[in-house]
Amino acid sequence: MPTVTEVLSAGLEHQRAGRLDRAERAYRSVLDFDSGQADALNLLGVLEHERGRHVDALSLIRRAVDTDGANALYRRNLVRVFIALDRLADARAAAWPALVLAPDDVWLHHVVSRLERGAGHADVAVARLGLVVELEPAHALAHNDLGALADEQGRRTEAAEHYRRAVAVDPGMVEAWFNLGCALLHQGKTEEGMAALRHAAEDGHADRRLAAAAHVEIGIALFAEGDVDGASAAYEAASRLNADDPAAALLLVQTRNLLPDVQPATYRDERRRWAERFALKPESTPSWERDRDPDRRLRVAYVGGYQVDGNTAAVTVLPLIEAHDRGAVEIVIYSDLPDWREDAYTARYRAAAELWRNTRELDDAALVAQIRNDRIDVLVDVFGHMSGGRFAMWGARAAPIQVAAIVTGTTGQAQFDYLIADSILLPPELEADVTETVIRVPLAYLYRPSFELPAVVGPPSVTQGHVTFGSFNQLAKLSRPCLAAWARVLSAVPGARLMIKGRGFAAPAARQRFHAFFEARGVAADRLDLRPWAGDFAAHLAAFNECDIALDSFPYNGVTTTCEAFAMGVPVVTLAGDRIAGRYGADLLHAVGLDEAIAADEAGYIERAVALAGDPARLERLRHSLRDRLMTSPLADPQALARGLEAAYRTMWRRWCHADRH
C-alpha cells in the first residue's frame, strides 16, 4: 500500500502533466484518510486555483495554513489566491507573515512591493524591490517596477536607468521598452526614445493594447516635431490595434483641426461621432434639486484635469478665477494633478477656490457622482481636452448647465449646453459648425502674466541689417500652406531670415524636414534659424528680442505665443481663417489695435508681412508701444473677462430656471 507521501507525489506528477482529474483523485484519497492533511489540502487548493475556482482554493489553502501556520509555501499560495480574487488588502496582510517565514523568497518580495505600491506606500515598495534585485540582480520585472516608481515621482533619469537594466536582462520585455521610450522622450532624447517605442510597437503583437499605447506615444512625439501626417498615421495604427481606446481616437480627431483640407463641419461631425461612441451616457434624466432663484449666488465649478499648475493656462485661467466676484459665484475646482506636480500656481488656484477637490483617484463615473453630490450649478471646461480634460466624463451630465469656454473648436457633445465665444472668434456665419448654443462675451480670451517680463530692446533689424521673421508656435501648427507662404515672404524680402523655435527641433529629423521644405522653394538653409527650446521661460521670452515680426500659423493660429510676442514688442501678422482655432490671431490683434496686420487670405497675409518688413519706422514704434497697448487692453483685464463670464453664467442659469418651471 503506497504511503501518503507517495500518493501526493503521484498526484503532483499528474497535476504537472495536466491530468487534473487524476491529481484531484489522489489528493482527495489522502483527505478521505486524513481530512486535515495539510499538504493534500494545499495541493488540492493549488489545483482548484489553476482551474479558476478561486473561492474553493481559498477555503482549502486556509485550512492548510490553519493546520501548519509555519509553512511558508502554504502562506505563499494563500497570497496568490487572494490576488486572483482581487482581494488585495487580504493579499497584503497575508504576504508579510509569509515573508517572515521565507525572507529570501524573491517572488514574495516582488509581490509585496506591488501590493504596497497599490496601497500608496511607495517607500516600502522601493525597499522591497531593492531586496529583490539584491537577491536576483537579473530580475527584469523588479527593475521595470523601480523605474515606474521613479517615473511616478518625476525622476525621469533614474527611471530610464532602471528600464535600461530591465531590457538588458530581458530584451523581449515589451512593457519595459515602452516605459523606456516614454522616459527618454520626457528627457528630450527623441531619437533614442522613438527607437524604444518602435521596438515596443513592433514587438508588442502579443499585447495589442501595449503596442497601441506605443503607437500613441510615437504619434505624440511626431506631433511635437511638426509631422502631423506621421502623427495621424500613428494614431490610426493605435486605433486599429485597440479600437476601444478613446484616447487614441480623440488624438486622431484632434489632429484634424490642424489640417487645412478638413472643413470645420467635418471636424464637428468627427467630434460628434467620437462623443457618441466613447463619452459616458446619462443613466437617466437627473432631478436637479436646486434653489431655482434666478438671482442667487451660483456654484460654478472648473474641471482642471492636470492643468492647475504653472503651465500655459496660468496666464489665462488662473487670473480669471482669481478675478471672479465671490458675491456672484462660489468657485469649485476639481484637480487630477499629482501631489509632486503641485507648485506655487497650484497654491494660488487652491486659494481662489472655496472648494478644492483632488479627483485623480476617481474614474469618470465616480467624478460625475462627486460633482452631482457637490450640487454644482454651472460646470465649466476652460482647459480644453488636449491633456487630461476628462472629455468622456461630460457626456454623463454631471451638472444642470455644462459650458465650454476658452475653446479651440466645438466639443461635439450633446451634453455641452453652451460655448463661450466673441464675435470675431466665432462670427454668426460659423455658428453652424458648433454643436453647442453660443453665448458671446466682449472678448473670449485673457493674457495676464504675473511674472516679470524681460526688457524689450530695439528691433534687431537696426543692428543686423536684415529683417528677422519669427514663429514660436508648436511645430504641428505649421501647415504646408503656412510654410509655403513663409517661403514666399522670404523670397519677397531680400536678406530676411526666419527663426522658428519649437521643442520638436531637438530631433534632427524635424530640422532636416524643414530645411528640405524651404530649400525646395528656393530658400537656402542659412536663412533659417531652427531652434529647440533651451533655457528657462525667461529665455524663451527674451528670444523674441531677436525677432522683428512674428508670423502667425494657419489654419490653426497661435494664442499664448501671440500674446507673448505683443508683450515683447513684436507685431504679429495673422490670417483670419474658417474655424475658431484659426481666428484667435484676428481676435488678439484687434484687441491691441493691430487690425491692419489681419489678412483675409494667403495673398493678403504675404502682402502685410512684406509691407511691415519694409517699414522700419513702424517697427520701431511698435517695439516700444506694444507691451503697454497689451497691458492696457481688454486682453489683459481679468476683471473684464470674469464679469463677462459671470453675466453669461447668469443668462444660462435664468434660462434653465425658466425652462424648468415651464
What average pLDDT does this structure show over 146-175? Answer: 92
Q: What is the pLDDT of residue 566?
A: 98
The DSSP code sequence of 97-158 is HHHHH-TT-HHHHHHHHHHHHHTT-HHHHHHHHHHHHHH-TT-HHHHHHHHHHHHHTT-HHH
- Which amino acid would we find at residue 194? M
Q: Residue 379: what are its φ and ψ, rounded to 5°? A: -105, 125
What does the pLDDT average to over 137-141?
93
422, 580 in Cβ contact below 8 A? no
Q: What is the pLDDT of residue 150?
A: 92
pLDDT value at position 33? 87
At 33-82, the pLDDT tens digits run 899 999 999 999 999 999 999 999 999 999 999 999 999 999 999 999 99
What grid cell was written down for 519? 530649400
Residues 499-504, mean pLDDT to the nearest whole number:
94
With left for phi above 0 and alpha for psi between -120 and 50, is residue 343 left, alpha or beta? beta
pLDDT at 283: 77
Instruction: Centre a 10 Å sphere on the Cβ of residue 509 and count the other Cβ atoms it contains.
Output: 16
148-163 per-residue burial string, b: 16 or more CB within 10 A, e: under 16 = bbbbeeebbebbbbbb
pLDDT at res. 287: 81
What does the pLDDT read at residue 563?
A: 98
In angstroms, the CA 307 to CA 311 distance is 7
Q: Does domain 298-440 have CATH number 3.40.50.11380?
A: yes
Write the pLDDT tens digit of every residue in 598-617: 999 999 999 999 999 999 99
Question: What are the Cα distances from residue 614, in Å, to 446, 489, 592?
Answer: 31, 12, 22
Task: Please provide residue 335's backbone torsions phi and psi, each rounded to the nearest 5 degrees.
Answer: -125, 135
pLDDT over threshold 90, residue 384: no
State residue 205's pLDDT score. Answer: 62
Question: What is the dotted CATH code of the domain comprising 460-636?
Answer: 3.40.50.2000
Q: CA quadruple 60, 65, 71, 77: dihedral positive or negative? A: positive
Lowest mean pLDDT among 237-241, 533-537, 572-576: 533-537
Statement: residue 460 has pLDDT above 90: yes
Q: What is the mean pLDDT of the chain?
A: 93
**Whole-angstrom Cα distance, residue 191 to residue 471?**
24
- Across the range 547-568, mean pLDDT stands at 98
What does each C-alpha distance from 274 to 75, 205, 280, 282, 382 come to in angstroms? 48, 26, 11, 16, 20
Bond before 555 cis per omega within 30 degrees: yes
One-letter amino acid identity for 320?
L
Question: Given pLDDT bands bounded at 50, 70 and 90, which one contains residue 204?
Answer: low
pLDDT for res 610: 98
| pLDDT tens per residue, range 575-595 | 999 999 999 999 999 999 999
CA angle 354–402–414, rounded 5-degree value: 160
CA distance 552 to 482: 9
Work out the pLDDT band at 662, boundaries 50, 70, 90.
very low
Q: Mean pLDDT, to the nearest integer, of 355-364? A: 95
Per-residue pLDDT reduced to its tens digit, 420-458 = 999 999 999 999 999 999 999 999 999 999 889 999 999
Edge-to-edge strand order for the sheet containing 549-551?
Answer: 528-531, 497-501, 468-471, 549-551, 572-575, 598-599
pLDDT at 385: 52
470-499 mean pLDDT: 97
CA dist., res. 220 & res. 214, Å (int): 10
Q: Tell me the average pLDDT across 100-123.
A: 93
CA distance 393 to 367: 8
What per-residue confidence (pLDDT) applies to 203?
Answer: 64
Cell numbers 474658417 correspond to what residue? Answer: 578
Q: Which listed CATH number (3.30.465.10, 1.25.40.10, 2.40.30.60, 3.40.718.10) goes with 4-184?
A: 1.25.40.10
Of the candidates 128, 158, 152, the one whose C-alpha atom is nearest the C-alpha of residue 142 is 128
The domain segmentation of the chain, as residue ranges, is: 4-184, 298-440, 460-636
pLDDT greater at residue 189 or residue 640: 640
Distances (CA, A) of 474 to 258, 291, 603: 11, 45, 23
Helix H or strand E segment including 17: none
Statement: residue 179 has pLDDT above 50 = yes
Q: What's the pTM value of the predicted model, to 2 decimals?
A: 0.83
**Stretch 233-252: mean pLDDT:** 92
Tens-digit pLDDT profile for residues 311-326: 889 999 999 999 999 9
Q: Do 4-184 and 298-440 share a fold?
A: no
Rg (CA), the chain: 30
Instruction: Give the tens place of pLDDT for each residue, 389-403.
Output: 688 999 999 999 999
pLDDT at 389: 67
Using DSSP's 3-state secondary structure scheme, residue 474 falls into coil
CA distance 79 to 52: 15
Q: Give the up-direction half-sphere exposure of residue 552: CA atoms within 13 A in the CB hemisphere.
A: 35
